[in-house]
């Protein structure tokens, strides 16, 4: 069970994390509560893409020693619910905003979620990271990495949209 849930983590701990995700999703979807029909394929594509990349990447980077271990349950819900569904919706709501603004928004919302996971599940922690001896250096660095979500998503959607792949459509950005 330790590999599945982490050391001393219970269903209640995970329920609290899911509550945080739900509250963050309410906040994220406030400006656009309904998914536009012409953006649905993009959203579904981004959810699947980012879930796959994060779920496999988190584990592979752990094996390489670049990331700390995420218990399987945390990796699953973080990759699918937070990165896939929630950050996917945040991208839908903000893709028309300047990239720097998106970067800060994604990094900051991810910092909030990672801090909650750290406090509730004890994840997202390393004693030092990138030569910085502080227990939150790793958590902050991984939050900054999430700031690149909109930049990478825009590039992928533009690239696939030009090829007419997966029904992905390139929204007009002012």
Quote the CA–CA distance of 113 and 86 in Å, as a whole number: 11
Structural domains in the chain (count): 1
pLDDT of residue 22: 98
- What's the whole-model pTM score? 0.91
Does 115 fall in a domain? Answer: yes
Does 45 fall in a domain? Answer: no
Does 170 fall in a domain? Answer: yes
pLDDT of residue 28: 97
Please check the confidence at residue 171 and state whether its pLDDT lies above 90: no
Does 147 fall in a domain? Answer: yes
Does 20 fall in a domain? Answer: no
pLDDT of residue 126: 86
**Higher pLDDT, residue 170 or 135:** 135
pLDDT of residue 90: 98
3-state class of 68 per DSSP?
A: coil
| Average pLDDT in the chain | 91
Q: Could you list the residue range(s) of the whole structural domain that residue 145 is in?
A: 82-174
Does 19 fall in a domain? Answer: no
Residue 159 pLDDT level (bands cut at 50, 70, 90)? confident
pLDDT of residue 161: 74
List of residues 6+ apart from 157 with CB closer than 8 A: 42, 45, 46, 168, 170, 171
Please check the confidence at residue 62 and state whether its pLDDT lies above 80: yes
Please check the confidence at residue 77 and state whether its pLDDT lies above 80: yes
Does 58 fall in a domain? Answer: no
pLDDT of residue 127: 85
Does 60 fall in a domain? Answer: no
């Amino acid at each position: 069970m330790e590999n599945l849930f982490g050391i001393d983590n219970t269903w209640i701990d995970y329920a609290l994390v899911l509550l945080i995700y739900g509250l963050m999703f309410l906040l994220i979807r406030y400006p656009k509560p309904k998914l536009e029909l012409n953006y649905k394929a993009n959203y579904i594509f981004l959810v699947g893409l980012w879930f796959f990349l994060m779920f496999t990447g988190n584990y592979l980077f752990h094996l390489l020693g670049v990331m700390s271990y995420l218990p399987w349950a945390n990796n699953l819900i973080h990759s699918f619910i937070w990165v896939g569904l929630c950050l996917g919706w945040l991208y839908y709501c903000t893709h028309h905003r300047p990239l720097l603004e998106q970067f800060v928004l994604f990094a900051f919302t991810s910092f909030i979620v990672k801090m909650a996971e750290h406090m509730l599940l004890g994840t997202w922690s390393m004693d030092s990271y990138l030569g910085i001896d502080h227990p939150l250096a790793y958590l902050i660095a991984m939050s900054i990495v999430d700031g690149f979500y909109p930049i990478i998503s825009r590039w992928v959607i533009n690239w696939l949209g030009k090829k007419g792949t997966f029904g992905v459509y390139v929204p007009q950005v002012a």
